[in-house]
């Protein structure tokens, strides 16, 4: 068995640069060997921070390179299909950041291509499954001590979004998609319908953007999931989840006891009596570290863990239905392909996230 996994990172924006640092500083048995980005200058700047790392403008060149064993895709979603399929053709494990692709049809093509290959190579970057709190919550719900899970209540808030072009649909596709995967992960079943509501928008959102949004998911077993997504809350990055079961409830992501309130302090930071994380990299730093380490360890074993291509497809299908609901305000049913024809239907808590 190879002792070190040689990894290439495609996309050197915030997430790609963060993964590069993670591979070099905090991931065992991995070596960052190359980074790729259409902005070759930016790729060279990132590569120059580490010894022995080369840069290229070509994602496909990196994917097919002989010195790259596995690939992390932190590129925009609209290029994921081509790049994931290239990884499958090259027989290389790939950790693809969400969304798997931009629509359910292209995501399903990836599921089918992997199925034809006969082995799993795709892991989708739903890192919350590796977060210790979410993993513990999954264990509590799965052990049956609280009875059947009836409801989930999710809150997902960002201080702001860096891109002025972050439109209403992107809140569903790029933010709510995490809550969609959380619902599938914690219930262990599929989402069968979604309805998205648009309350009065915050003055801090761009013109015409519906922010915040509230989405209601209906699960296959009849459970309901409420989701608030607010990407311009001004305070900080807040993610909470409460599961309500027949004999009790469990709340994660709550940093204090007693009265919990948030506000924007005079120094411009979000406060609750302690600091609110500035962004997702701080809130889920441990989850990202565990996710990438689990991916590396599995790749070295010739295995894949965590969210599968099917998980990515299912989340994309629900997101697509959510965007349709956002446009009409109506409840939209989710139609998935036959899961018995896919290699991995709903996947559960990865062993490494225990």
Q: Which residues contact 194 (CB under 8 A, 6 or more apart)?
A: 215, 216, 217, 218, 318, 321, 322, 325, 331, 332, 334
311-335 CB burial, b ≥16 within 10 A, e <16:
bbbbbbbbbbbbbebbeeeeebebe
Of all residues in the chain, the percent with pLDDT exceeding 70 is 91
Is 50 exceeded by the pLDDT of residue 109?
A: yes
CA 221, chain centre distance (Å): 24
Rounded Cα distance, 66 and 71, in Å? 12
pLDDT for residue 68 is more than 90 = yes
Inside any domain, residue 319: no
Region 308-329: mean pLDDT is 97
Predicted structure pTM score: 0.90
Q: Is 84 found in the same domain as 47?
A: yes
Report the number of distinct structural domains present in the chain.
2
Q: Cβ-count burial of 267 within 10 angstroms (0-12 exposed, 13-18 middle, 19+ buried)?
A: exposed
Residues 108 and 144 in one domain: no
Are residue 61 and residue 14 in the same domain, yes or no? yes
Helix (H) or strand (E) holding 270: strand 270-271
> Would you say 245 and 149 are in contact if contact means Cβ atoms under 8 Å apart?
yes
- Across 3-15, average pLDDT: 97
| CA 239 to mean position of chain CA atoms | 13
pLDDT surpassing 60 at residue 258: no
Q: Could you tell me if 102 and 171 lie in one domain?
A: no
Task: Looking at the structure, tell me whether residues 108 and 203 fall in a common domain.
Answer: no
Residue 110 falls within a domain, yes or no?
A: yes
- Would you state the pLDDT for residue 349? 39
- CATH of residue 109's domain is 3.40.50.720
- State the pLDDT at residue 338: 86
**Running DSSP on this structure, what letter comes out for residue 97?**
P
Predicted confidence (pLDDT) at residue 179 exceeds the cutoff of 60: yes
Considering the domain architecture, whether residues 15 and 37 belong to the same structural domain is answered as yes
- Say whether both 141 and 272 belong to one domain: yes
Q: Are 253 and 240 in contact (CB under 8 A)?
A: yes
Same domain membership, residue 90 and residue 167: no
Residue 343 in this model has a pLDDT that exceeds 70: no
pLDDT band at 259 (very low <50, low <70, confident <90, very high): very low
Per-position DSSP letters for 4-31, written without gaps between them: SEEEEEE--SHHHHHHHHHHHHT-TTEE
pLDDT 10s digits, 284-309: 999 999 999 999 999 999 999 999 99
Is position 324 within any domain? no
CATH value at residue 247: 3.30.360.10
Within-domain flag for 260: yes
**What is the pLDDT confidence band of residue 277, given thresholds at 50, 70 and 90?**
confident
Query: Which residues neighbour 58 within 8 Å (Cβ) at sequence distance 6 or greater?
Result: 36
**Structural domain includes residue 316:** no
CA distances from 212 to 136, 174, 234 (A): 29, 14, 12
Range of the domain at 158: 129-278
The overall average pLDDT reported for the chain is 91
Task: Centre a 10 Å sphere on the Cβ of residue 114 and count the other Cβ atoms it contains.
Answer: 24
Q: Are residues 270 and 134 in the same domain?
A: yes
Alpha-carbon distance of 124 to 135, in angstroms, equals 17
| CA 178 to chain CA mean position, Å | 5
- Residue 331 falls within a domain, yes or no? no
The CA angle 196-200-203, to the nearest 5 degrees, is 125
pLDDT band at 44 (very low <50, low <70, confident <90, very high): very high
In DSSP notation, 197-256 reads: E--SPPTTSPTT---SEEEEEEETTS-EEEEEEETT-SS--EEEEEEEETTEEEEES--S
Which segments of 58-106 are extended strands (E)?
Answer: 70-73, 94-96
Specify whether 153 is located in the same domain as 91: no
Residue 109, classed as helix, strand or coil, is helix
Bin 222: left if φ > 0, else alpha if -120 < ψ < 50, else beta: left
Task: Report which of 50, 88, 57, 87 is spatially closest to residue 71, judged by C-alpha positions.
Answer: 87
């Amino acid at each position: 068995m190879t002792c070190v996994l040689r990894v290439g990172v495609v996309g050197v924006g915030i997430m790609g640069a963060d993964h590069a640092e993670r591979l070099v500083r905090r991931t065992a048995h991995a070596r960052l060997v190359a980074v790729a980005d259409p902005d070759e200058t930016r790729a060279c700047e990132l590569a120059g921070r580490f010894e022995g790392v080369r840069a290229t403008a070509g994602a496909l060149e990196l994917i097919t390179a002989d010195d790259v064993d596995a690939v992390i895709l932190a590129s925009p979603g609209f290029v994921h299909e081509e790049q994931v399929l290239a990884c499958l053709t090259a027989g290389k494990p790939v950790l693809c950041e969400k969304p798997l692709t931009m629509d359910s049809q292209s995501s399903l093509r990836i599921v089918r291509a992997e199925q034809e290959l006969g082995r799993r190579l795709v892991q989708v970057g739903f890192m919350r499954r590796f977060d210790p709190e979410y993993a513990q919550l999954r264990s509590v719900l799965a052990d049956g001590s609280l009875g059947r899970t009836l409801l989930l209540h999710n809150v997902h808030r960002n201080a702001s979004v860096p891109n002025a072009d972050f439109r209403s649909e992107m809140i569903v596709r790029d933010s709510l998609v995490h809550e969609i995967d959380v619902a599938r992960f914690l219930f262990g079943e599929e989402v069968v319908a979604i309805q998205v509501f648009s309350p009065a928008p915050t003055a801090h959102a761009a013109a015409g953007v519906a922010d915040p949004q509230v989405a209601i998911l209906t699960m296959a077993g009849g459970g309901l999931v409420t989701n608030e997504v607010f990407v311009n809350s001004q305070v900080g990055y807040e993610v909470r989840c409460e599961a309500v079961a027949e004999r009790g409830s469990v709340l994660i992501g709550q940093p204090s006891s007693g009265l919990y309130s948030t506000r924007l302090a005079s120094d411009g930071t979000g406060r609750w009596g302690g600091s609110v994380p500035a962004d997702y990299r701080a809130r889920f730093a441990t989850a990202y570290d565990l996710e990438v380490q689990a991916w590396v360890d599995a790749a070295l074993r010739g295995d894949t863990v965590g969210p599968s291509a099917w998980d990515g497809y299912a989340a994309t299908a629900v997101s697509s239905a959510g965007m349709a609901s956002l446009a009409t305000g109506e409840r939209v049913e989710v139609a998935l392909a036959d899961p018995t024809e896919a290699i991995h239907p709903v996947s559960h808590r990865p062993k490494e996230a225990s």
